[in-house]
Structure formats: structure tokens, C-alpha cells
Structure 1
Amino acid sequence: MSSNRPTLSKRQVQPNHSGQLEKTRLVQYVGFFAIGYVLSSAVFMMIQSKVTISSQLVTVLSVLIGAYIAVNKFIKHHQRALTASEINRLTVGSIGAVWLATIIYFFSLWLLLFDAIDREVLIEMTAQQPLPLLSALVMILLLTLVSARIGVWVFNRLLAPK
């Protein structure tokens, strides 16, 4: 007579009727990524006040720390590595959350910190030369997306249970 031993994992991934694994909810891990990114960015900004560090390096390091935290939490909770589709969903969701927080931050600066003269000067500068601003936004978006994808993939491989 065989006895079935229950598994102690927090969430079991069961195949559905078609034999495919059900989609894992990644919202919690996107939140871990965003919190790790924001906290590490704040720490690096404090370090930047004492030591000169490239802002792109700070962005990449903050994204990598956020990726490490999210992947580490996922692997601890699920006792397995992320699949390729989960890596893609976690990357896009995390960068979306980080950019949404950045947009809210800049919008609050625009409303609360800048006066009418500062706003007018920034609008005129943007209207006169929009291409450098647009190219900088595209480059930083690509930098965060690529570094997040590479970071999630690398940490998924390094932290994967054997």
C-alpha cells in the first residue's frame, strides 16, 4: 500500500486540462523588483553625493539589485526556477512598474517643485531641441529593459535549485 506524502511548497503548479502549466502570478515579484530598485537607487544617490558615479551605472546596478531580490523571492516561494515566459513577464512588468514610479516622481516634481517660470523654460528648451531628450529617454528605457532581462536571466540561472 502506497502512501501519498504532501509537498510543503507554498503553491503547487498543477497541469490544467490541456496539459499546460497554469500561469504563475508575478505581481508580488514585480513589487519586490520595484521596491528593491527604489531602495537601491536611494542608497546609490546618497553615495553619489560623496563619490562621483555615472548615472547609467547607478541605473544598471539598481536594476540588477531589484532583479536579484525578485528572482530570489520567487525561487524561495516556489522552489523552482522561472520559465522563459515568466522571465519575460517579470522583466516587462518590473520595468513598467519602475517607469510608472519614475513618471509619478517627475510629475510630482513638476507640480510641487517647479514654479511657472521653470516650467516655461523647460517647455521652451524641449520645443527647441526635442531630439536629444527623446533619444535620451529611448536609451535609458532600452538600458533598463536590457539590464533587467539579463539580470533576471542570470540570477535565475545562478539561484535555481539543483
Structure 2
Amino acid sequence: MSRKSANLSNSKAQSVKLAQYLGFFMVGYILASALLMLLQTQIALNPQLVTLLSILVGAFIAVHKFIKHYSRALHKAEMIRLAIGGTGIVWLLNALYFFTIWLWLFDEANRQVFIEMSLQQPLPLLFALIAIVLLTFVSAGIGIWLFNRLLSLK
């Protein structure tokens, strides 16, 4: 009988749904991005710094809520899934942002210039995109790992 209860508690620990915590990550990222963009109107901030700080705020909120709800630290697999999911959310939001700008702010001439520029020199744009995706994933992973260590119950 004790074997079943240990097995059930082990399977329950493995089946943690991280979707709710990805939602917390997204809310933290959006709020931090909005506040930092408002701050950028007053002082000059590096866009990569804004992205990094926004991701760290999202990671802090997600890890804090997880530890508060489960009274334990994230396992390694959960941290990796949360980092990959957080990166996916950040890029989904960025794609939505770019698509909105593309439709709302760009006129036909601006769209044509952007398309021609991208076709003439695609490698710098591609390398910049890869570098930003890596920055996002690494900062999400390090942020989740760091906050998991700092906030975990001993």
C-alpha cells in the first residue's frame, strides 16, 4: 500500500502543469516591458537591456508563484520547460507586435522598402534574429535558475 501512495505522489510531482506559470511569466514580461518603454521616453535605454530586464521580471514572477503554490523549487526539467515556454511567449508577443506595426503603421511604400532591404541583405537580419532569440532563451534560463535558487525553501 505504501508503494502505491509513493508512486501516486511521484506521478503528481511529475505532472505539474506549467501553463499557469507561463501566464504569470507573460504578465510580468508585458508589465515590465510597458513600464520600461515608458521609462525609455525619459532616458535612453538599450533595447536589449529592456528585453533582459523584462524577461527577468517575468521569470521572477513565474518562479515566485510556483514556489508559493507548490512549496518547493522547480526541478531541472521544469526549469527548462519554463525557459522554452517563456522564450516562445516572448517571441509570440514580439510577432504580434511586429504584425500590428506592419498592418497599422506601415504604408505600402514602407512595406516594400522593408521587403527589398530584407531580400538584398538577409544574413544580417537573420543573424540579429538568432542572436536575440539566444539572448531571450539564455536570459530566461538564467533568470529562472537564479530566482529558483534564491526563492526556494530550504
Instruction: Decide which of 9, 13, 17 is 1:14's aligned counterpart.
Output: 9
Deviation at 1:22, TM superposition (A): 2.7
Distance 1:147 1:97 in 2: 14
Larger relative helix fraction:
2
Deviation at 1:53, TM superposition (A): 1.1
How far the C-alpha of 1:94 sits from its partner, in A, is 1.1
- Aligned twin of 1:71: 63
Match status 1:58 vs 2:50? yes
Distance 1:108 1:159 in 2: 37
Identity of aligned residues (%): 54
Consecutive unaligned residues of structure 1, counting only runs of 5 or more, are 1-12
Is it true that 1:144 corresponds to 2:140 in the alignment?
Answer: no
Task: Tell me which amino acid in the other structure corresponds to 1:83.
Answer: H
CA RMSD, 1 decimal? 1.3
Q: Using the alignment, how far apart are the partners of 1:88 and 1:131 within structure 2?
A: 29
1:30 has 2:25 as partner: no
TM-score, normalised to structure 2, is 0.91
CA deviation digits over 1:15-48, x for unaligned, max 9? 24xxx84320000000110111111011111111
Which deviates the most, 108-117 or 65-74? Answer: 108-117
Post-superposition CA distance 1:64-105 (Å, at most 9, x none): 111000000000011100000000001101110111111111
Q: Give the residue type in structure 2 aligned to 1:36.
A: G
Aligned position for 2:5: none
5+ residue gaps, structure 2, are 1-7
Alpha-carbon distance between aligned partners in 1 of 2:72 and 2:35, rounded to the nearest angstrom: 31
Aligned residues: 147
Deviant stretches of 4+, over 2 Å: none
Q: How far apart, CA to CA, are the structure 2 residues paired with 1:29 and 1:124?
A: 40
Please tell me the residue identity of whatever aligns with 1:14: S
